[in-house]
Amino acid sequence: MAPVVVAEALTKRFGKLTAVEDLSFSLEPGTITGFLGPNGAGKTTTLRMLLGLARPTTGRALVFDRQYAQLDGPARRVGAVLEATDFHPGRSGRNHLLILSRAAGLHDSRVDEVMGLVELTGAAKRRVKGYSLGMRQRLGLAAALLGEPELLILDEPANGLDPEGVRWLRDFLRAYAAEGRTVFVSSHVLAEVAQTVDQVLIINRGRLVVESPLSELTARVGGAVRVRTPRQDDLAATLRAEGLGPTEAADGALLVPGTARERIGDLAFAAGIPVHELATEGASLEEVFLELTADAADAAEADA
């Protein structure tokens, strides 16, 4: 299947300031991608370019193989929440959604459906000025869902949510992606991202640092694969022959850093060695993030 989102050498300059530089990546259908980076890394600028709210200085941002402005019925293809403050405080939550729904040519009944999806039915007639930050986040998500889009682009959607709300959002996004739809979510809540996403895209100072499945990244950076077998010596010899450096854990299992568990499983299978346990013991996403962004910053300073 064709990628849902493609960024090709995206660069955005504001005068002498380069916010995003030569950034390329793609998003596949049915995936949840965490978009990570320090403050000022260029995340919001990138999202704005994807949505046609900012024009790239050079490069292209494509959504469903077109620029966003060229999409037919964009509300039915893409839903986005870039901030949770874009509401008229005197309108009720339901009326806010009605205006957006009618502007997109959608049926009024969809408003009540999305209010139910985000669990705001009881507050539908309340004025938005009385909403908490968490309720505004849910209202923003409801607006993004009006057209039943194939792609969701969310900027800090967990901001202001209580623990129950964060868990609700995680479950919702997983179910959404399980239907074959795609989520691109920017967040600073790394512990929650680690429980939600399939892959991560990390940028720093506007440049790509890494694009990787989450499981592979945490295993590769400071993590290891844990494998247990009754033929430990044979497997250790097989792994060393492949240039891998297994060590023995306190309980007798082997720990293999710097590779994915699928490769360990394939090597054991090819050698006819039975495996009783095979699991990734990765570094936390926070540890990976801090290490990679620090390395990227050091490299940028060296280049300068």
pLDDT value at residue 163: 87
Binned at pLDDT 50, 70 and 90, residue 59 comes out as very high
Summary mean pLDDT of the chain: 90
Binned at pLDDT 50, 70 and 90, residue 251 comes out as confident
pLDDT value at residue 14: 95
- Coil, helix or strand at residue 248: strand
Q: What is the pLDDT of residues 190-248, one digit of tens each?
A: 888 888 999 999 999 999 999 988 877 776 665 678 899 999 999 999 999 999 989 98
Largest CA distance in the chain: 72
List of domains in the chain: 5-212 (3.40.50.300), 224-281 (3.30.70)
Whole-prediction pTM value? 0.78
Q: Which residues pair with 35 in a beta bridge?
A: 186, 201
The mean pLDDT value for 247-264 works out to 86
Q: In what order do the strands lie in the sheet with 182-186?
A: 78-81, 151-155, 182-186, 32-36, 199-204, 207-213
Q: Which residues contact 281 (CB under 8 A, 6 or more apart)?
A: 219, 223, 224, 225, 226, 255
pLDDT value at residue 124: 95
